[in-house]
Amino acid sequence: MSQPTVLAAEAVGNTAANFAIFGIFVLVTMIIVIRVGRNNSTSADFFTGGRSFSGTQNGVAIAGDYLSAASFLGIAGAIAIYGYDGFLYSIGFLVAWLVALLLVAEMLRNTGKFTMADVLSFRLKERPVRTAAATSTLTVSLFYLLAQMAGAGGLVALLLNITDRTGQSIVIAVVGAVMILYVLIGGMKGTTWVQIIKAVLLISGAGLMTIMVLAKFSFNPSELLGSAQAFVSSSADPTVADRNVLAPGAQYGGSLTSQINLISLGLALVLGTAGLPHVLMRFYTVPTAKEARRSVVWAIGLIGAFYLFTLILGYGAAAIVGPDRILAAAGGQNSAAPLLAYELGGVFLLGIISAVAFATILAVVAGLTITASASFAHDIYGSVIKRGNYKDEEQVRVSRITAVVIGIGGIILGILANGQNIAFLVALAFAIAAAANLPTILYSLFWKRFNTRGALWSMYGGLVSTIVLIIFSPAVTGSPTSMVPGVDIAWFPLTNPGIVSIPLAFLLGIVGTLSTPSDKGDPVINAEMEVRALTGVGAEKAVVH
């Protein structure tokens, strides 16, 4: 019996204990969600938690929202298999927060109300811009949901050795159903507290495992790295055994295409964070722009510490578990962290870490769902369809209905994407956010000449180009490991299209703006937005509108 099968058998023997831990988390958080959800009397309560969270609380919640299953499972697995190249994912995720801190956090809080579209429509034509922004928000959210749901399927595949897609699909559906309940009952307040609890559990669990790994190697990182390389070199797979996991190039080295793909991935990760709708919406849950800035500082500290932990966990998995066992396990590359937990603490630690991973998925998908449903209800229904003629409770009701629809859509997409590397799937969501959202946000905040056509060309152009290039990339078609094996229409050579779609979106914003010289906007409104974004003067007025 192989080691992965032994692990699966042990895990199955303790299924009740594993899921009891997960059940306790769901029960406790559901009680909290119900309690805080009683105070959701207005749309501001439901969408932004009444702006009642401090910068510290929101910073912890941002970390909980941002540290997804891709961070815990995908990056640890990528480091275990590819070493240094896998760590590049976490570097990109972390550096991205400097863009959010320096360019968008405070200004968005000063000029917006609930969603990204509030900022864009401040001085542009409201209906077309809100429609484009909502379309982009829904698309990014669905891609991110797809990754988290796929992570849920991979995790249960490892725990119970469920290799048939039907069993994994049932688990994905259960995760989606719990997430929908969080949003329906608790709104942003409930979602935020789930994210805070999850962040504490995840960072604490990763920290504990990091200490246990280092203890096995006498707290000597050099010994850990050497053991990891030795285990990789002894792999039965020649392609794995030839890798130098201590230097660049194991995944992206060699061909020029691989190196360009690395640059493309880096652009998507660094620029995508500042365009992620569920991250942007968190800036509206604090009372002032100063607290929004403090939120990002707290988030950077917590996220930076966590990614240092994943470096140790990834190399620890390579040195203690080995790449062959990781790749042979039911969850594939995503199983590195749970397998390491089993080696360090047996089935008990495996159950704890698996419950934390499930909590991670639940918290992130809840944040994505509340963001997407708020965008549709506030931007499409309230501003485009009803033209502002709606009651507050009507907007909340539409948001709840939308949350159910999005949740079901996320479940279906997660089932279809089950088995894919979730760090890669999240990188695609970042590419869409960087191309479709960030250029328009920056132009709106910093370029007075920017107009409606420029915004529409930039958003739709970035969105469409990214999706088209993804569809015709090797990641989706053209290879046995692609999302659609057996179909070869991959004429675009890169797995991440950011290096093409992001500059294209910036260019389309400029061309669209300059091609309409008659549309220079209202100088008074332009000046008002600049003052409000830079100083915060009038920000509370924007909140009341």
Mind listing the pLDDT tens digit for each residue in 380-427? 887 788 777 777 778 888 888 888 888 888 788 777 776 665 656 777
Alpha-carbon distances, residue 313 vs 125, 205, 252, 336, 345 (angstroms): 49, 11, 21, 9, 14
For 303-356, write each residue's pLDDT tens digit: 989 989 999 999 999 999 988 888 887 667 778 888 898 889 887 788 787 777
Residue in 210, 202, 161, 211 with CA at minimum distance from that of residue 353: 202
The pLDDT value recorded for residue 236 is: 81
C-alpha triplet 425, 427, 433: angle, nearest 5°? 115
Residue 495 backbone dihedrals phi, psi, to 5 degrees: -80, -20
Both structure tokens of 495: 């797995």
Identify whether the C-beta of residue 64 lies closer than 8 Å to the C-beta of residue 278. no
User: Stretch 494-503: mean pLDDT, rounded?
Assistant: 90
How many whole angstroms separate alpha carbon 321 and alpha carbon 352? Answer: 18
The pLDDT value recorded for residue 309 is: 92
**Domains within the chain, CATH numbers bracketed:** 3-544 (1.20.1730.10)
The pLDDT value recorded for residue 4 is: 41
* CA quadruple 43, 48, 49, 52: dihedral sign: negative
How many whole angstroms separate alpha carbon 481 and alpha carbon 485? Answer: 7
Model confidence, pTM: 0.81
The pLDDT value recorded for residue 513 is: 92
pLDDT value at 210 more than 80: yes
Query: Based on C-alpha coordinates, what's the Rg of the chain?
Result: 23
| The most confident of 150-154, 371-375, 456-460, 471-475, by mean pLDDT | 456-460
What is the residue-averaged pLDDT of the chain?
80
End-to-end CA distance of the chain: 66
Q: Give the range among 115-119, 146-150, 224-228, 279-283 with minimum mean pLDDT.
A: 146-150
For 60-106, write each residue's pLDDT tens digit: 988 888 887 667 777 888 898 888 888 877 787 778 787 877 777 77
pLDDT value at 180 more than 90: no
| 3-state SS class at 536 | coil
pLDDT value at 155 more than 70: no
Higher pLDDT, 222 or 528: 222
Neighbours of 475 (CB within 10 A): 27
C-alpha triplet 432, 433, 438: angle, nearest 5°? 125
Residue 499, classified by CB atoms within 10 Å of its CB into exposed (0-12), middle (13-18) or buried (19+), is buried
Residue in 275, 286, 313 with CA at minimum distance from that of residue 431: 275
For 231-271, write each residue's pLDDT tens digit: 888 888 887 888 888 877 766 666 788 788 888 888 888 88
| The most confident of 66-80, 106-120, 189-203, 524-538, by mean pLDDT | 189-203
